[in-house]
Amino acid sequence: MNIATGARQATNGIPVSLQAERQELQALVDIATQTVAPLWPLDSAIAVNPLSGFEDQAFEQALPEAAGLFGARPSLSLIQWRKIMDEGRIDYVAMRKAVVNALGGLEEAFASLGPDLNAYNLLVARLTELPAEEVPAIRRELSPAHAILARWLAAFFDRNAALRLPGRHLGLYACLSTALRQDPALVRTGDATAAHWLELVPADPIEMLLFAARRDGVARERRLDWLRSLVVALPGWAAHLRWRSEHGGPAASEGAPATMIELMALVALVDGTVRNGPRGLPDPGTEAPDVEQALLKHFGLTSDASATWSEVARNRLRSVAAQSHAELGMIFQEAAEASFLAEFAPLLEGASARMTAPVTKPFAEAQAVFCIDVRSEPMRRALEAQGRYETLGYAGFFGLPIAINPACEAPQRNQLPVLLSPAHVVAERAATGREAEADALLSRQAALADARAMLDTTKGGATGFATAEAAGPLAAVALLARTLAPRLSDTLRKRLVGERAHLLTPSASNDHDQAHDHGACTIPLEQRIAYARSMFALTGLSAQTARLVALVGHGGCTTNNAFAASLDCGACGGHPGGPNARLMAAILNDTQVREGLATEGLALPDHTWFIAAQHDTTRDEVEIFDRQLVPASHASDLARLEQALMRAGAQCREERAGRLGRTAEDLLTGAAHWGEVRPEWGLSGNAAFIVGPRALTADIDLGGNAFLHSYDWMTDVDGSALTGIMTAPMIVAQWINCQYLFSTIDNEVFGAGDKTTQNVVGGFGVVQGSGGDLCVGLPRQSLFRDDGTPYHTPRRLAVIIEAPLQRVQDIVLAHDAVGRLVENGWINLVVIDPWKHKAHHWVRGEWAARPC
């Protein structure tokens, strides 16, 4: 080989030009991967923005583009929007302003087109008066080839199957390309060349993609679009794979490695056997000429009459008639967003003004720090109504970046936002004073684990039939009990299994001799002091605390619900927040920690005791932990707080029952009933993330629609506390808001569809019916009433902060993740000037007074 020839060869024998093409393709794959958001497994399901990969675009541009790519609707139907407006969720004045803005301003909107007619009249008629058809909720059907691939993907990723798919250890592409080539069903779905195509497919996934691109004539400049189409062919499985690759850790891929490029190659492989037609849903709007005629007829005009109009007037008619379904829906959505701000911004401005007046505030009998979750707002309001109780809002992981090693043979559990990585792995140990009960509980759980292992034999093999015959009668008895007496059944189950949540607790140290501490660590004293200090800094909680301070995590309580984790605490990685509350309470009660805080000027009163609790958002009950550790001197304080929490819970149940159309008593039964499809509304209705002192919202009934994060701008001298709030909890709230928004707009594509027709796959996801693509987002029952009317109003998150404008602006400009959301309109940022007490809305890089 001469020098010139050698220069054209890579060291591994691959031509340099081909190497460059492979590298270019890999870079495009990395970009195309961002088309879908990660999909967390069911046991740690958290809300994400399904269109997070489009956040670098303006919201109103990204939504129709994404809708076209995924084959989704870009908005609710006009019929649904009209129902929302009829219910009073959209204010007439806000709607009027949204229409005027859509037309380009007052002059364009009200310029005369003819006698008593203008563009405003035309667009209002189009939105609210002309006949409109309901847009059917049609889930995009998989092609036969994609359905076959989905079936093999389910077999590959299922870690619980008794009979594992052979060759999983070779990787996704090597395993399934072999299986697909041998699957006669795939050949039958294809054309006459399918069998020959399957014989030619390369063994390397990158080569497969290059081979398919050349065969189909995909030009290099079009390859990114082509790769994105491969991703959205099975967006649910792609989303699962993205979680697996980026967040699952080594354990998720053990024994079955898989990458996104392998999935794309498999889609290209099956696509080569049969050509897929266009997948997008047509825009449900009428053709523009027909709309023009309908508008003219609506106003008693004819085509001949409009022919006499000026060219400018006719163009305005054509423009209104040509408005797409996405554009019409955006007008309604902007009006819904403005309606919320129009109702609450003046109330917040008034509260801000009142806070400047000197007020003699009675000392709180007890304080409670709740999670910022929207479901905490009604409970906080109800508790404060019971007496001298003060509440605050803080991210529900209480600032502890931990993972927990459970005391039994269970996987490590991350108890922090997915934006963060665990800094500490803490062990679960017996609660102080309850060691004997904890040991008995662990023994019972070990026995139950052995029984489950035996029952798992029913998943495969001939022995499964005998096992199923033996277990059947017992299962029938359990089924009858859960159906006829769900609350009694639930009580018995708790007694049999034991109160695990009370008997076992995470520990900041591992100085006790328990085998399950392996891999766990202590949290150094300086770190514990820092976490305690952060809670005071981020919430504005004064060092002059009450005698009793409750740290209240939260979690849902449902039975037979694949989406149960979606009702738990998102800040705790889709798990209940009680463990974090208990660990933080232990840290704050620690003498060394208090001494460390005192040296930093944060001296807590000796009489203050911190207790941990958990708010059951399904039952509206608050459970107190570690009561055996509460000093006798605080027993009466705790008793009074518990009574107040019980009364507050009863008030919340009455309020929530009305929104669910049920009785308060039925909510308790529904939480335990295995057939209940809507145990609670979850975070439906979420509309705002409000950052400020409790006095800003204390006198306002926000209806459980706002995340409330406590903050005092006057104690945050350098703005670091607000930076922490806007770069973490605010972004998590935006994820939640977007998941609810898009799951409502098209529940079949961006949501999970009907809960009653789903089946769990592999323990990590759900599919509709017997198989297919993994469902993403939220089920229909979490968002819509039984009559099909959306309970959740689709609107972007309103982030409302009381702080100096310049401080907020500096944070927006300094942090790309925040600036992107603000500048591209994925959130509505409103800041209340603490000196002038006026709300200012960030609009295209500038502050505009009075956002509504």
Q: Can you read off the two tokens belonging to residue 220? A: 């290099």
Structural contact between residues 754 and 780, judged by C-beta atoms closer than 8 angstroms: yes
pLDDT one-digit tens code per residue, 381-410: 999 999 999 999 999 999 999 999 888 767
326: pLDDT strictly greater than 50: yes
Higher per-residue confidence, 784 vs 274: 784
Q: List the helix and strand counts (H, then E) for the chain.
A: 34, 19
The letter for the amino acid at 190 is: G
Rg value, the chain, Cα: 29
Average pLDDT, stretch 114-126?
Answer: 93
658: Cβ contacts below 8 Å, ≥ 6 apart: none
Q: Can you read off the two tokens belonging to residue 397? A: 């992981």
The SS3 assignment for 642 reads: helix
Q: What order of strands is seen across the sheet that includes strand 548-555?
A: 389-394, 366-371, 548-555, 609-616, 621-624
SS (H, E, C) 482-504: HHHCHHHHHHHHHHHHCCHHHHE
Using DSSP bridges, classify how beta strands 846-849 and 366-371 pair: parallel, antiparallel or unpaired: unpaired
373 is in an annotated binding site: yes
Confidence of residue 849 (pLDDT cuts 50, 70, 90): confident
pLDDT value of position 191: 84
- For residues 39 and 49, what is the distance between their CA atoms, to the nearest angstrom? 10
pLDDT one-digit tens code per residue, 706-753: 999 999 999 999 999 999 999 999 999 999 999 999 999 999 999 999
How many C-beta atoms lie closer than 10 Å to residue 484's C-beta? 9
pLDDT value of position 774: 97
28: Cβ contacts below 8 Å, ≥ 6 apart: 223, 224, 227
Structural contact between residues 423 and 129, judged by C-beta atoms closer than 8 angstroms: no
pTM of the model: 0.92
Higher per-residue confidence, 142 vs 407: 142
Confidence of residue 278 (pLDDT cuts 50, 70, 90): very low
pLDDT one-digit tens code per residue, 796-813: 999 999 999 999 999 999
pLDDT value of position 476: 56
φ and ψ of 172, to 5 deg = -60, -50
In angstroms, the Cα distances linking 177 to 154, 198, 241, 736 are: 14, 9, 17, 37
Q: Can you read off the two tokens belonging to residue 733? A: 């709230």
Q: Can you read off the two tokens belonging to residue 116? A: 């008593």
Confidence of residue 672 (pLDDT cuts 50, 70, 90): confident
Q: Can you read off the two tokens belonging to residue 139? A: 């889930």
Q: What order of strands is seen across the sheet that includes strand 706-709?
A: 706-709, 688-691, 797-802, 827-832, 839-843, 846-849
Higher per-residue confidence, 12 vs 383: 383
Structural contact between residues 169 and 156, judged by C-beta atoms closer than 8 angstroms: no
What is the pLDDT of the chain when averaged over all its residues? 88
371 is in an annotated binding site: yes
pLDDT value of position 114: 83
Higher per-residue confidence, 6 vs 650: 650
The SS3 assignment for 108 reads: helix
212: Cβ contacts below 8 Å, ≥ 6 apart: 218, 265, 268, 269, 271, 272
Q: Which of 616, 640, 623, 622 is nearest to 546 (CA)?
A: 640
569 is in an annotated binding site: yes
pLDDT value of position 521: 63
Average pLDDT, stretch 32-55?
Answer: 96
Q: Which of 343, 346, 383, 365 is nearest to 694 (CA)?
A: 383
pLDDT value of position 8: 36
Consecutive H or E run containing 847: strand 846-849
Q: Which of 332, 321, 320, 294 is nearest to 82 (CA)?
A: 332
Structural contact between residues 663 and 390, judged by C-beta atoms closer than 8 angstroms: no
pLDDT one-digit tens code per residue, 181-229: 999 999 998 888 899 999 999 999 999 999 999 999 999 999 999 999 9
Q: Which of 538, 526, 475 is nearest to 720 (CA)?
A: 538
Using DSSP bridges, classify how beta strands 424-430 and 504-507 pair: parallel, antiparallel or unpaired: antiparallel
In angstroms, the Cα distances linking 40 to 247, 777, 782, 822 are: 9, 10, 18, 26
Using DSSP bridges, classify how beta strands 366-371 and 548-555 pair: parallel, antiparallel or unpaired: parallel
Using DSSP bridges, classify how beta strands 827-832 and 839-843 pair: parallel, antiparallel or unpaired: antiparallel
